């Protein structure tokens, strides 16, 4: 087993995913390619749904934060598994709608939704809009007025805590572009304003404290702060929040050194801390919503590349260059994220070489990782990077005019293309002069 039970090495010494030989997959679908084990995504959905139902009752609805991996097919998978989704843009809403995702089970997020986004969401019948700020609240009230509709909303609150993760993926502290801080009075002010909106039905509050969190403590802090806020709101306005969305953020292992989380126990533990927090705050337990992104899809995916060169610079380092890089995986460039990589066609050989894995773009920072333990490689080998299901395809670009790789889904011993590889013609599709 390599990091996850769905990854193995076969008798040829090749890496397998969902029982399929990755070297054969690379030959069939080309490289670079994202390969995702659909069974893993479905199993993760079931883990969250079962645990949430056990902890919060039959009405529980975990949401998949679809910014982590967004394509039409993922909305179908998530709909079949009975989860809701969170969308953050008109493009995600459109994709969900085209995939037939039930609009009532969509939560619409974002710190700067345009009027067009808000109108689109209301036209689609999006169940809940998570309002970020007072400008948006006013815009939504007037759009609802024009459409003669009412809209269910939550308000995004920043509880002001630091979940011990990379700064770029922290979202719950007071100095944040997201939401309304409790300590500044902003949260109470927007709550009063929302309660005065005739077309908007305030149901509760939302917070999302960050990503790649491996322990329950930050959720305990968030639950405590949010439930005390709910109690304060009740005291000042008489409004009792019926729903509290505690966001996503549970971590996944990218290397053997990362901790491993049992998501079912995490849901149970979050339920317990929320219940205790409600008791301490003296308010009835609201409906708790969780919205995992990364932990539903990251582990399911790997990226396959072809090695183009191995360059040894004596006294410095070794570079293995691959036929993709920051356009298909910008996470090292953005956050110095760590990954596990191996040579898929030599997976049973020892990883006794050290290399920087470089992409093919004209940027020195175009790296997948530095000082990575890996097997010795030669041009033509297949290099696999593990745990690329989240925030890879979703963040992909066409930098250097590179076509985006396909997504191939593996299930029951078969592989099928879910998203086609972009062609050069696709790159020219919108160029009109
Ligand atoms: C990104 C995001 C999530 C999901 O975060 P993960 O770390 O991928 O679980 C959930 N809710 C909101 C509002 C987000 O922005």
Q: What is the pLDDT of residue 120?
A: 98
Q: How many residues comprise the chain?
A: 433
How many CB atoms lie under 10 A from the CB of residue 311? 13
Ligand 1 mutation target, pool 68, 213, 263, most atoms within 8 A of CB = 68
291: Cβ below 6 Å to ligand 1? yes
Determine the atom of ligand 1 nearest the C-alpha atom of 67: 1
Q: What is the pLDDT of residue 385?
A: 98
Strands (E), 166-232: 180-181, 200-206
> pLDDT tens digit string along 350-376?
999 999 999 999 999 999 999 999 999
Ligand 1 mutation target, pool 249, 252, 388, 395, most atoms within 8 A of CB = 249
The conformation of residue 144, written as its DSSP 8-state character, comes to H
Q: What is the pLDDT of residue 167?
A: 54
- Cα–Cα distances in angstroms (integers) from residue 404 to residues 24, 43, 115, 327, 427, in the given order: 20, 27, 30, 8, 9
Q: What is the pLDDT of residue 408?
A: 98
> pLDDT tens digit string along 44-99?
999 999 999 999 999 899 999 999 999 999 999 999 999 999 999 999 999 999 99
Question: How sure is the predictor about 161, in pLDDT bands with cuts at 50, 70 and 90?
Answer: confident
Determine the atom of ligand 1 nearest the C-alpha atom of 250: 9
Q: What is the pLDDT of residue 175?
A: 83
Rounded distance, CA 16 to CA 329, Å? 21
> pLDDT tens digit string along 105-117?
999 999 999 999 9
Report all structural domains of the chain as residue ranges with CATH numbers, in order of start.
7-37+300-427 (2.40.37.10), 61-297 (3.20.20.10)
Q: What is the pLDDT of residue 212?
A: 94
211: Cβ below 6 Å to ligand 1? yes
Region 180-203: mean pLDDT is 97
Rounded distance, CA 238 to CA 31, Å? 59
Number of H helices, E strands in the chain: 12, 21
Q: What is the pLDDT of residue 174?
A: 81
The CA 248 to ligand 1 mean position distance, Å, reads: 5
The CA 351 to ligand 1 mean position distance, Å, reads: 34
Q: Find out whether 71 and 91 touch, Cβ atoms under 8 Å.
A: no
324: Cβ below 6 Å to ligand 1? no
Which helix (H) or strand (E) element contains residue 278? helix 263-281
Q: What is the pLDDT of residue 304?
A: 98
The CA 211 to ligand 1 mean position distance, Å, reads: 7
Verify whether residue 362 is a known catalytic residue: yes
Catalytic residue among 45, 70, 197, 362: 362
> pLDDT tens digit string along 372-414?
999 999 999 999 999 999 999 999 999 999 999 999 999 999 9
Asked whether the predicted pLDDT for residue 173 surpasses 90, the reply is no
Q: What is the pLDDT of residue 2?
A: 78
158: Cβ below 6 Å to ligand 1? no
What percentage of the chain carries pLDDT values higher than 70?
97
How many CB atoms lie under 10 A from the CB of residue 3? 19
Asked whether the predicted pLDDT for residue 169 surpasses 60, the reply is no
How much is the mean pLDDT over the chain?
96
Q: What is the pLDDT of residue 165?
A: 58
Q: Find out whether 429 and 36 touch, Cβ atoms under 8 Å.
A: no
Lowest mean pLDDT across 156-165, 210-219, 225-234, 264-273: 156-165
The CA 71 to ligand 1 mean position distance, Å, reads: 17
Determine the atom of ligand 1 nearest the C-alpha atom of 63: 10
Q: How far is CA 309 from the centre of its chain?
A: 32
Asked whether the predicted pLDDT for residue 243 surpasses 90, the reply is yes
Closest CA to 191 of 401, 200, 101: 200
Closest CA to 4 of 14, 12, 15, 13: 15
248: Cβ below 6 Å to ligand 1? yes
Region 202-208: mean pLDDT is 97
> pLDDT tens digit string along 213-233?
999 999 999 999 999 999 999
- Cα–Cα distances in angstroms (integers) from residue 306 to residues 77, 95, 124, 136, 187, in the given order: 30, 31, 43, 46, 51
The CA 171 to ligand 1 mean position distance, Å, reads: 9
């Amino acid at each position: 087993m390599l990091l996850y039970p769905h990854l193995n090495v076969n008798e040829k010494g090749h890496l397998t995913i969902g029982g399929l030989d990755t070297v054969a997959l690379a030959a069939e679908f080309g490289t670079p390619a994202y390969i995702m084990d659909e069974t893993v995504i479905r199993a993760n959905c079931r883990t969250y749904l079962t645990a949430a139902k056990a902890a919060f009752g039959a009405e529980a609805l975990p949401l998949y934060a679809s910014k982590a991996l967004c394509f039409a097919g993922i909305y179908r998978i998530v709909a079949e598994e009975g989860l809701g989704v969170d969308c953050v843009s008109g493009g995600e809403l459109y994709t969900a709608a085209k995939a037939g995702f039930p609009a009532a089970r969509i939560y619409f997020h974002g710190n700067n939704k345009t009027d067009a986004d808000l109108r689109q969401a209301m036209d689609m019948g999006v169940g809940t809009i998570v309002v970020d700020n007072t400008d948006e609240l006013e815009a939504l009230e007037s759009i609802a007025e024009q459409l003669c509709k009412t809209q269910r909303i939550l308000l995004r609150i920043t509880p002001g805590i630091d979940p011990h993760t990379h700064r770029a993926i922290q979202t719950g502290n007071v100095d944040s572009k997201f939401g309304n801080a409790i300590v500044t009075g902003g949260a109470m002010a927007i709550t009063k304003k929302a309660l005065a909106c005739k077309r908007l039905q305030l149901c509760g509050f939302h917070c999302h404290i960050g990503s790649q969190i491996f322990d329950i403590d930050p959720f305990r802090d968030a639950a405590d702060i949010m439930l005390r806020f709910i109690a304060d709101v009740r005291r000042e306005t008489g409004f009792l929040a019926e729903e509290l969305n505690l966001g996503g953020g549970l971590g996944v292992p990218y290397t053997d050194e990362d901790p491993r989380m049992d998501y079912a126990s995490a849901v149970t533990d979050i339920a317990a801390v929320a219940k205790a927090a409600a008791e301490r705050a003296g308010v009835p337990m609201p409906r708790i919503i969780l919205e995992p992104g990364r932990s539903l899809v990251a582990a399911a995916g790997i990226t396959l590349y072809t090695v183009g060169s191995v360059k040894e610079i004596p006294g410095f380092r070794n570079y293995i260059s691959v036929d993709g890089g920051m356009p298909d995986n910008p996470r090292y460039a953005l956050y110095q994220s760590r990954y596990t990589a191996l040579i898929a066609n030599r997976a049973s050989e020892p990883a006794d070489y050290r290399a920087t894995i470089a992409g093919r773009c004209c940027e020195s920072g175009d790296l997948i990782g530095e000082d990575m333990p890996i097997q010795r490689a030669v041009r033509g080998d297949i290099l696999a990077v593990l745990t690329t299901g989240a925030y890879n395809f979703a963040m992909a670009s066409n930098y250097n005019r590179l076509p985006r790789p396909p997504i191939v889904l593996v299930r029951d011993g078969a592989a099928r293309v879910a998203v086609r590889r972009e062609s050069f013609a696709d790159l020219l599709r919108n160029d009109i002069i």
